[in-house]
Amino acid sequence: MGILIDENTRVLVQGITGRDGSFHTASMLEYGTRVMGGVTPGKGGQEVHGVPVFDSVAKAVKDTGANCSVIFVPARFATAALREAADGGIDLIVCITEGVPVLEMLANYHYIREKRTRLIGPNCPGLISPGKSKVGILPGHIHKPGGIGVISRSGTLTYEVVYNLTLKDLGQSTCIGVGGDPVIGTGYIDLLEMFEADPETQGVVIIGEIGGEDEEQAAAYIKDSVSKPVVAFISGRTAPPGKRMGHAGAIISGGKGTAEAKVKAFQEAGVPVADRPDQIPELMKERLGS
């Protein structure tokens, strides 16, 4: 089964007429994603790669029955796009856009939750249920259908970990990049709960990084509520003290959010932590008993 998206997911691309929106629409179509339409205000009636363009999300949803939207608009338009999707009846919003101001995103987070819409991102690569659908920018060819769920704060590390899983014949049920910003729509705990309930998922890989306390909270949740094998990797373990890292959320404050604290929390929850991404498949096979 996987979680959140499958072969029946009907996708809109907000910003489809832009460079990134157009490029990744072609990639999603090639993968087999059901891209039903695009949205660019003022450009309704056009087509991009054979996909109809609408002036508004509401019109696109009415005409296509879309239930998922992926956002490829510049940061200054992201809030409007997010709220239009939430108001337009979209069930799942995936925001690829980076650079959304933190205070704006905090207000958007609460606005979207009130609409009972789920948000992945912002500043994320999206998600993929291999062999069924991909929504975002993940490279489909490195994924393989299987039983490992992947949750990650890092896009590029997701690709490296997935490549190694596939290489070792550990396919994936769903891979999700949650985003690297301080305020994101869906975090580890929500997704761990979904993977725990998914009969197709046999184990879960968590890819974390320095900054914030999400990984520590996930470790506590795993200890109390997750029965499936979990393996973790924490990036930034060799970051020099005081060095600013790439993600806006990778900020260590008040001594909290260090790599050491995250590794310790996972280990205390019985979750093995890989030193390198290529160690993850063997650790998972050990946990699965295969």
- Last residue of a domain, which of 120, 148, 171? 120
For residues 60 and 148, state if they share a domain: no
* Separation of first and last alpha carbons in the chain: 22
For residues 144 and 283, state if they share a domain: yes
**Does residue 4 lie within any of the structural domains?**
no
- pLDDT at 283 (0 to 100): 98
- pLDDT at 41 (0 to 100): 97
**Does residue 189 lie within any of the structural domains?**
yes
For residues 155 and 260, state if they share a domain: yes
Q: Which strands sit side by side in the sheet containing 133-136, from one edge to the other?
A: 133-136, 126-129, 172-177, 145-152, 203-209, 230-235, 273-274
Please state which of the ranges 82-91, 246-255, 278-287 shows the lowest mean pLDDT.
246-255
**Residue-wise pLDDT tens digits, 264-277:** 999 999 999 999 99
Integer Cα distance of 256 and 264 in angstroms:
13
Task: Report the amino acid identity of residue 63.
Answer: D
Integer Cα distance of 274 and 160 in angstroms:
13
Integer Cα distance of 79 and 100 in angstroms:
8
Integer Cα distance of 4 and 16 in angstroms:
22
- pLDDT at 250 (0 to 100): 46
For residues 175 and 232, state if they share a domain: yes
Catalytic residue among 49, 141, 143, 247: 247
For residues 116 and 159, state if they share a domain: no
Q: What is the CATH number of the domain that holds 247?
A: 3.40.50.261
- Last residue of a domain, which of 90, 120, 150? 120
Q: Are strands 203-209 and 172-177 parallel, antiparallel or unpaired?
A: unpaired
**Residue-wise pLDDT tens digits, 217-247:** 999 999 999 999 999 999 865 555 555 555 5
**3-state class percentages of the chain: helix first, strand second, coil last, to nearest 5:** 35, 25, 40
For residues 159 and 256, state if they share a domain: yes
**Does residue 130 lie within any of the structural domains?**
no
Angstrom CA distances, 41 to 2, 38, 56, 64, 168, stand at 33, 10, 6, 17, 45
Domain count, the chain: 2
**Does residue 89 lie within any of the structural domains?**
yes
For residues 114 and 157, state if they share a domain: no
111 in helix, strand or coil? helix
**Residue-wise pLDDT tens digits, 150-185:** 999 988 899 999 999 999 999 999 999 999 999 999
For residues 151 and 252, state if they share a domain: yes
**Does residue 46 lie within any of the structural domains?**
yes
CB 55 within 8 A of CB 48: no
Q: What is the CATH number of the domain that holds 21?
A: 3.40.50.720
Domain residue limits at 269: 139-288
For residues 153 and 276, state if they share a domain: yes
**pLDDT over threshold 60, residue 63:** yes
H or E element in which residue 158 lies: helix 155-167
> In the numeric block, which tokens belong to residue 49?
């790669």
Integer Cα distance of 193 and 206 in angstroms:
13
For residues 28 and 148, state if they share a domain: no
For residues 68 and 146, state if they share a domain: no
**Does residue 128 lie within any of the structural domains?**
no
**Residue-wise pLDDT tens digits, 42-52:** 999 999 999 99
**If pLDDT is split at 50, 70 and 90, which confidence band does 278 have?**
very high
For residues 147 and 113, state if they share a domain: no
Catalytic site includes residue 247:
yes
Task: Report the amino acid identity of residue 226.
Answer: V
Q: Are strands 126-129 and 172-177 parallel, antiparallel or unpaired?
A: antiparallel
